Amino acid sequence: MKVDGRHTRTLWLEPDGWAVGTIDQRQLPHRFVTVRLETLADAAEAIRSMLVRGAPLIGATAAYGVCLALRADASDRGLATACETLAATRPTAINLRWALGEMTAAVGRLPVECRVAAAYARAAAIADEDVAINAAIGRHGRALIEDIARRKGGAPVQILTHCNAGWLATVDWGTATAPIYQAHDAGVPLHVWVDETRPRNQGASLTAWELSQHGVPCTLIADNTGGHLMQHGLVDLAIVGTDRVTAQGDVCNKIGTYLKALAAHDNGVPFYVALPSPTIDFAVVDGIREIPIEERGAEEVTLMTGATADGRIETVRIAPAGVAAANYGFDVTPARLVTGLITERGVLPATREGLAAAFPERAGLRAAE
């Protein structure tokens, strides 16, 4: 998507053809800073520290992390260490493990001297596939928005989203935002309510920034506002992203998603989840019991970082010194609260049958494992 009018992806190869460039998302929206990743440690730290974040981008970065690792050591041991190191960075988004599986399958059986080139080829394909998948999600999701627009006779379609499932969370387009960008580009009048998404504020710092860069009308809201808006008929549909969808259609996403789904259900607001197929984990059925939920540091809850009036970036404490704080990164929305899953193969019911019918090659493989 566009930054200052220039088309930009979130991940690219540097001009030297081997180092990996990306955006330091921790500095947005205050500064647009790009970073060069040169080693396995750089890639792992970028994911761990959330310099890059969002399930699909974590996966693509991990794929390139394997490339960087193999440049230093392309042996079986080197490949195994790379996968172990990257897998340990964040537990919840399944795209990370999916990408490591893809990389291992692409290079594991090759002679050592062929592995680096093959790894770069597969990582590039993963990145390009992510862009194509998200563009397809955009086409399918856009039809949902257009349907509502027709019913509203020209009044803007009101969409609520949570966290950042935008292009910053992917290689391009985003998942939840792809239908929004495509509908907006096609001239469909729409407006996005952007949940701030405490504690790390991905909505405030990332989604509001990228939608504004693209010229999409949006309004930032405190996390607790969605229910009120829905009660007053101010939300036509919700579209969120996800870090992992189970075989039965349970949806794990940024903490707070479940509460929005409950409010949507109570108010008859359609609640859609947009996802690329690598986000489906056919090995897991019951999301609440089986998906590991990342717990991050208490300081993300007790401290806040922002820009001062004179442009300095500062961190301040917003809670009593020493207070206990819990920081669960994700929650699980049961499939029964999900109106539909917007995938690259169409809008599916959030059911075991719906997912298996759309992705039989993956559902069957996992069942056979």
The pair of structure tokens assigned to 79 is 């490949």
Question: HSE-up of 25 (CA within 13 Å, CB side)?
Answer: 31
Q: Quick one: which of 170, 302, 339, 343 contacts ligand MRU (CB under 6 A)?
A: 170
Q: Quick one: which of 214, 254, 260, 362 contacts ligand MRU (CB under 6 A)?
A: 254
74 vs 160 by CB, closer to ligand MRU: 160
158 vs 202 by CB, closer to ligand MRU: 202
Q: What does the DSSP assignment read for 207-251?
A: IHHHHHHTT--EEEE-GGGHHHHHHTT--SEEEE--SEEETT--E
Assess 56 for contact with ligand MRU (CB under 6 A): yes
Stretch that binds ligand MRU, among 11-19, 51-59, 336-344, 358-366 (CB under 6 A): 51-59
- Using CB under 6 A as the criterion, what x/- string covers residues 308-337 for binding ligand MRU? ---------------------x--------
How far apart CA 38 and CA 17 sit, in angstroms, is 11
Q: Quick one: which of 165, 301, 342, 347 contacts ligand MRU (CB under 6 A)?
A: 165
- Using CB under 6 A as the criterion, what x/- string covers residues 107-136 for binding ligand MRU? ------------------------------
How far apart CA 101 and CA 348 sit, in angstroms, is 25
Assess 340 for contact with ligand MRU (CB under 6 A): no
Stretch that binds ligand MRU, among 2-10, 49-57, 73-81, 339-347 (CB under 6 A): 49-57
- Mutual angle of helices 94-107 and 55-72, in 10-degree steps: 40
Q: Quick one: which of 131, 169, 350, 358 contacts ligand MRU (CB under 6 A)?
A: 169
How far apart CA 226 and CA 193 sit, in angstroms, is 8
Q: Quick one: which of 131, 163, 211, 273 contacts ligand MRU (CB under 6 A)?
A: 163
β partners of residue 316: 304
Q: What per-residue string of b and e applies to 241-254 under the rule 16 or more CB within 10 Å gives b?
A: bbbbbbbbbbbbbb
How far apart CA 165 and CA 239 sit, in angstroms, is 9
Residues interacting with ligand MRU, by CB under 6 A? 53-56, 93, 163, 165, 169-170, 174-175, 202, 241-243, 253-254, 329
- Residues serving a catalytic function are 243
